[in-house]
Amino acid sequence: MAKPHFLKHFLEPESVALVGISRRTGRGTFNIMESLMDYGYKGIIHPVNPNAKEILGAACLPDIDSLPVGVDLAVITTSRGLVPEIVRGCANRGVKGIIIVTEGFDEADERGKNLQKEIDEVAGKSDTRILGPNSIGVVNAFKSFSSSFLPLPKTPAPVALVSQSGGFFEGFPNCPFGKGIDLGNTGDIDFTDALACLKDDDDIGVIVLYAEEILRGREFVNTARQAVQKKPVLVIRGGRSVSGKKAAASHTGSMGGEEALYTAVFRKAGIYQVDSILDIGDFAKAFLHLPPFTGNRVGIVTPTGGGGIISLDAIEHFGFSPSALSTEMTDNFDGLFQPWITIKNPVDILSSAMTHGFKNVYQKVLEAFFRDDGTDVIFAVCGSFTLKTIKRMAIKYPAKPVVSWVVGADQVDIAEKAEKFDFNPYYPSPDSALRALKGVRRYYLARERLLLE
């Protein structure tokens, strides 16, 4: 049996000490104990504060020495000068993991850098592992645990974030995170540690990194390659621009590095680098819903000619091509189209639908693509009312991926109408859909490459 990874103490602690927790509670106080209880945590909480008898109904401990031995996790929010001594105390009491939320270390002034050195020394000498400093810590919606002082979504989504910023714990568009680890200044615990944990985590199907700086390059690549063989790893780089890189130095003390180097590292590891946080939700939706595929021949069904054309433009742009229609396939359409129409891919169903019924024609063309050996992926241009038909087909032919572009202005209305048909992923534009498909295809190609190497 695999040895449990040390990050288990952070993500699923049975007991947690909150060191430096304030007596002030309520709106605007950012009290971690209060937000933890609101989040639904069921484990043991030890507030540590020499000036309080109890906080939110729990007896306060006056100092670290009063902690029971072997607490899973301590979360430190004191002023920075007190942190090294508390860390030493925690290590002495056999605390398994420490999150240092406090700021003002490597990312700040000389005094901060010296304080961080003291902390690093403790980490080097004890079995206690340290996340941060300057970290919001962790969130785990699967176990209702979070050290965040801000309220977070409670969605146990199969997507994990490893980040150098806790601000992203709130999720990227259409992409809540079921688990999150904020590395902060990346002292003791780094990206490699987080990947080593999440690669074996069955709750998680997609891993997302927000990275300003990657340390331990070789170990990172090795661990990432193991992870990518099991599930996709995506990265959004922060600090790619001149001013962004400079800002990263004062955000997490990151030194940045050459962009070309990062690109090479990610490529070698099979990690998919995205340009926008929007791409991450788009990718995750496709990956989590679609069967595996590596082919690039796309069958397109559309009720709008122009929609078919800009779909083709996106299909080519993202490395796909329209599948060639076999005679066998077009023979299925006998009598559906006007005799002077040459049936081509994209199959424009509008005029046929006006005579033979929209749903009837749409389904016939869709099914022909599902049954066609020359088509690897189906791209369905449609309105939200057609998602039901597409879902039924996707269930009937589970081995072939289908994605939709739902045409229309009111995407909020579309999302609401489409909610129950969100089995087959749908997108607001052909480029969002094809960008996601490209990412998924690249993942399966990268995985094949890694398995062969």
Question: Based on CB atoms, which residue is closest to a second copy, 50 or 305?
Answer: 305
Tokens 């990690």 found at: 271
Cβ atoms of residues 362 and 353 within 8 Å:
yes
| Residues 274 to 333 in contact with a second copy, rule: CB under 8 A | 275-278, 281, 302-310, 312-313, 315-317, 321-322
Does position 373 interact with a second copy (CB under 8 A)? The reply is: no
Other Cβ atoms less than 10 A from the Cβ of 250: the count is 11
| Residues 138 to 157 in contact with a second copy, rule: CB under 8 A | 149, 153, 155
| Residues 79 to 118 in contact with a second copy, rule: CB under 8 A | 103-104, 108-109, 111-112
* CB 51, min distance to a second copy, A: 18
Point out which span in 1-9, 169-177, 328-336, 385-393 binds a second copy (CB under 8 A). 169-177
What count of Cα atoms within 13 Å lies in the side-chain half-sphere of residue 352? 26
363 closest CA partner among 340, 341, 385: 385
| From 4, 68, 173, 291, residue interacting with a second copy (rule: CB under 8 A) | 173
| From 357, 371, 395, 449, residue interacting with a second copy (rule: CB under 8 A) | 357
Cα–Cα dist 236/210, whole Å: 5
Cβ atoms of residues 204 and 425 within 8 Å:
no
Question: Based on CB atoms, which residue is closest to a second copy, 110 or 453?
Answer: 110
130 closest CA partner among 185, 49, 211, 209: 185
Q: Count of residues binding a second copy (CB under 8 A)?
A: 88
* CB 302, min distance to a second copy, A: 8
Four-point Cα dihedral 35, 36, 42, 48, nearest 10: -120
* CB 21, min distance to a second copy, A: 13
| From 412, 451, 452, 453, residue interacting with a second copy (rule: CB under 8 A) | 412
| Residues 382 to 401 in contact with a second copy, rule: CB under 8 A | 383
Does position 205 interact with a second copy (CB under 8 A)? The reply is: no
Question: Based on CB atoms, which residue is closest to a second copy, 97 or 346?
Answer: 346
Q: Is 173 exposed, middle or buried (0-12, 13-18, 19+ CB in 10 A)?
A: exposed
Does position 428 interact with a second copy (CB under 8 A)? The reply is: yes
Contact string (CB under 8 A) for a second copy, positions 222-251, x = contact:
--------------xxxxxxxxx--xx-xx
| From 358, 362, 379, 421, residue interacting with a second copy (rule: CB under 8 A) | 358
